[in-house]
Structure 1
Amino acid sequence: MPNSPVLPTVRRRRLGATLKRLRKAAGLSLDEAAVAMGWSSPKMSKIENAAQSVRPGDVTAMLKMYGVDDREVYSALENLARDAGKKGWWQTYRGVVAPTYADYISLESDASTIRVYAPLLIPGLLQTAAYARETISGITTTRSPEEVAALVEIRQARQSVLTRTDGSPKFWAIVHEAVLHQRFASRPTTMREQLRRLLDAAEMPNVTLQVMPLAATPHPGGAGGFSLVSFPGPMPDVALLENLLGATYVEGVDEVQVFGEAFERIVAAALPMDDSLALIAHLEEGLRT
């Protein structure tokens, strides 16, 4: 029976792209690198294009061949090769979690920094279960109640990344003020609880929260929301765009840089953190009556 093809997960794409960049920096062609490793050129190409897995030991040999002497680079890429096909806790929800969503959860688990501009909804890592249930039910058009419940569980489980003991990522979220005025007729207390959740999360040392005011000057966020994920070591950032059909990843270095620069301009247009929290607290207090 033939082997199943390797799925080009985001982890494998990150690894392959980084190895390709290091090869080019060393001045080696694909054919030259393949010969030095004792491989065929197609095999080297498949590794760089995430169509074939690579062992951590082979990654070590490739880095030595490319003249890399940074131990942090070795550790990061060896671990990425080791974990490229690793199954996470979200695999228990197979059938509910789309492959692109599973990829994003794996990105969160590897991240050193996560930056989000959210013009339409509270970011998933900051949502209460009630808010998640209302919004997932409203957005999905084909999910059963059981699947919605599973997606809510997944969204809540993802939030543990912000408090993990082995180094939680820095999380920087900019939420549009219009999102804070949303109301839910079926459960009026949902938004008050959600605003309180934002205030509580902002007390975490690794969380930065800003509000984009209704009166903000034009900024790049007018083109839509996005997430920008950064990693330790040499791996390039990844940007994520979401829509009704799922997620789209932006992984090219130059393309992702556009989002990084856009985020800086969005930060400048948003309220400072203290003013943002004061606004959230004011809205939360107004919902108590």
Structure 2
Amino acid sequence: MTTKQVSTVRRRRLGAELRRLREAAGMTLEDAAKILECSDSKISRIETGHIGIRTLDLRVLLARYGIEPGPRYDALLTLARESRMRGHWLQKFNDVLTDPFRDFIRLEEDVASMRSYEIQLVPGLLQTEDYARAVIEAGRVLWHSREEIDKFVALRMERQRVLTKEQPLHLWAILGEAALRCVVGGPEIMRAQLHRLLEVHHDLPHVAIQVLPFSAGPPAGIGGPFVILEFPDPVELDVVYLENLGSNLYIEDDDEIRRYQRAFDHLRSAALSPKDSASLIEKVAKEL
């Protein structure tokens, strides 16, 4: 795991919004630097998320950018405060977490909703403990010890609290049919996992599960799995998250995000309805 400090997504979201506000106010980097009596390179580093900004300085900039106290103003101050937070329950999992994935889990707790597309596996937030362990053990080349595997399984289970907290995460998950038919950990574990999906379908109205059947054919122009993170605050800077072996990527460009949003809408239209998806899940479980 890298020891280099990574710019958090919160900080990049705040910086991107400050850049937009500055440009909307018709100001240059030099103009903003004069306001804070600092170098224009410091303003650039704030806007690119490389460094944070003090709350006092943020209030000064917002006032000069014409942003008055209100929901948007408060949301930006909250972003600034949260980008400096260090204490977190994730600390006990530090030895099994990369910095980008730690950022993702923190964001998972902040977002109002999440849209997820998975091809061959059940999403982590919907996995049973036995299924999660089987998936994680399958990637044993990534781990150094049994203790690391146990910790990562525990981490995955703790993450699922976002679905049952007082203001739960709204999750819309689209699963490829292969995720139902790929027998992970053996028939008993897989059957229990499919039953878990049915329980979520019936018991958690804020979670929608759709299955993209084999009969729908390959999704045109859509590659691997992706997650769209949608935030509740008025800043409206959503994020797309892509995860591959050994790497994590955040997409924050507006045009690229809209492309993934359109892709998800295409998948949603091609997938079975939540009711028909539940019927297919039940059918596959009985076949095991």
State if a TM-score over 0.5 links the two structures: yes
Alpha-carbon offset, residue 219 of structure 1? 2.4
The answer to whether the 8 Å contact 2:119/2:224 transfers is yes
Q: Give the corresponding residue for 2:92.
A: 92
In the aligned structure 1, how far is the partner of 2:260 from the partner of 2:183? 30
Alpha-carbon offset, residue 187 of structure 1? 4.2
Q: Give the corresponding residue for 2:9.
A: 10
Deviations 1:147-186 (A, max 9, x none): 1111111111111011111x222110000111101214x5
Alignment of 1:1-289 (within 5 A): 7-69=6-68, 71-86=70-85, 87-143=87-143, 144-165=145-166, 167-184=167-184, 187-202=186-201, 203-220=203-220, 222-232=222-232, 233-287=234-288
Percent identity over the alignment is 40
In the aligned structure 1, how far is the partner of 2:175 from the partner of 2:142? 27
**2:209 aligns to what SS in structure 1?**
strand
**CA, structure 1 residues 14+111, in 2 after alignment: closer, same or farther (shift >3 Å)?**
same
**1:45 aligns to what SS in structure 2?**
helix
**CA, structure 1 residues 119+98, in 2 after alignment: closer, same or farther (shift >3 Å)?**
same
Q: Which runs of 5+ in 2 are unaligned?
A: none
The answer to whether the 8 Å contact 1:132/1:155 transfers is yes
In the aligned structure 2, how far is the partner of 1:5 from the partner of 1:139? 25
The two structures have a TM-score, normalised by structure 2, of 0.92
**1:50 aligns to what SS in structure 2?**
coil
Letter in 2 for 1:113: S
**1:210 aligns to what SS in structure 2?**
strand
The answer to whether the 8 Å contact 2:126/2:160 transfers is yes
The two structures have a TM-score, normalised by structure 1, of 0.92
Letter in 2 for 1:60: R
The answer to whether the 8 Å contact 1:196/1:284 transfers is yes
The answer to whether the 8 Å contact 1:118/1:225 transfers is yes
The answer to whether the 8 Å contact 1:227/1:239 transfers is yes
Q: Which runs of 5+ in 1 are unaligned?
A: none
Alpha-carbon offset, residue 246 of structure 1? 2.4
In the aligned structure 2, how far is the partner of 1:5 from the partner of 1:65? 34
Letter in 2 for 1:164: K
**1:94 aligns to what SS in structure 2?**
helix
Instruction: Note the aligned Cα RMSD (angstroms).
Output: 1.9
Alpha-carbon offset, residue 220 of structure 1? 4.2
Letter in 1 for 2:107: L
Structure 1 segments, 4+ long, off by >3 Å, are 4-7
In the aligned structure 1, how far is the partner of 2:198 from the partner of 2:208? 11
**CA, structure 1 residues 169+220, in 2 after alignment: closer, same or farther (shift >3 Å)?**
farther
The answer to whether the 8 Å contact 1:101/1:247 transfers is yes
Alpha-carbon offset, residue 22 of structure 1? 1.6
The answer to whether the 8 Å contact 2:120/2:182 transfers is no
**2:240 aligns to what SS in structure 1?**
strand
**CA, structure 1 residues 70+275, in 2 after alignment: closer, same or farther (shift >3 Å)?**
farther
Letter in 2 for 1:224: G
Count of aligned residue pairs for this structure pair: 282
**2:214 aligns to what SS in structure 1?**
coil
